[in-house]
Amino acid sequence: MEMLASHEFWIGLFAIIWVNILLSGDNAVVIALAARSLPPKQQKQAIVWGSVAAIVMRVILTIVAVEMLKLPYLKIVGALLLLWIAVQLLAPEDDGGDGQAKTYGSMFAAIRTIMIADLVMSLDNVIGVAAAAKGNIVLLVLGLAISIPLIVFGSTLVLKVMERFPIIITAGAALLGWIAGDMLPTDPAIADWVKANMGWLVSLWGAPIIGAALVVIVGSWLARRKPPVAENEKA
């Protein structure tokens, strides 16, 4: 009770919620992208459960984030994984040949994609949340839990916009490629070499631009390779 009566607790709680709102725009995009191919009922379930699972993982990650970010090659692996996820989200869905999505399998696949992408994208973001929590685990968990409905609302809003403007899907995948490109050259294993020999990758946004372009190009190529639906399958 003494903790709840402290003004420092409420200031910290507000700071965590605010930081999480500012840093969750890209997470809302990936959640909407992963859930877009599901039927409306499964979309809502995937968004809610994907957001809850992502927040739980973010709490765990935040506790150990400072030490994890010092590990070499972690960001490289994470960036490559995020590029792969972005391309998969942009590529056409396989409906299994019966013209209908495999709802249950797709929903769990969407939740898995949301969790992995959020984990990768949160490597840097959680530092801000950890700083606001100042080591208070109760404050950390409470602040992130309150942020869940905000992320769910943001994801639902982005999903509705995607339905009206499909170009947002490409833009969202490109955003994930940008984040991956921004992350990769800052890995401790190569950061000094990149700064000394290829500084433009960081200073001129070279790596993020390459990452975004790579996702769009490869995703578009995969979309063009999808065989057309046969007439007897349309009937």
The string of pLDDT tens digits covering residues 52-94 is 887 777 777 777 765 666 788 988 988 898 899 889 887 755 5
Dist CA 10 CA 129 (whole Å): 14
Dist CA 143 CA 148 (whole Å): 9
Residue type, 21: I
Beta carbons of 42 and 107 less than 8 angstroms apart: yes
The pTM score is: 0.73
206-227 tens-digit pLDDT: 999 999 999 999 988 887 876 5
- Determine the structural domain holding residue 211 and report its residue range: 2-234
Total domain count for the chain? 1
100 secondary structure, DSSP code = S
13-29 tens-digit pLDDT: 777 777 666 666 777 88
Beta carbons of 211 and 83 less than 8 angstroms apart: yes
Q: What is the signed CA dihedral for 198, 184, 27, 219, rounded to 10 degrees?
A: 80
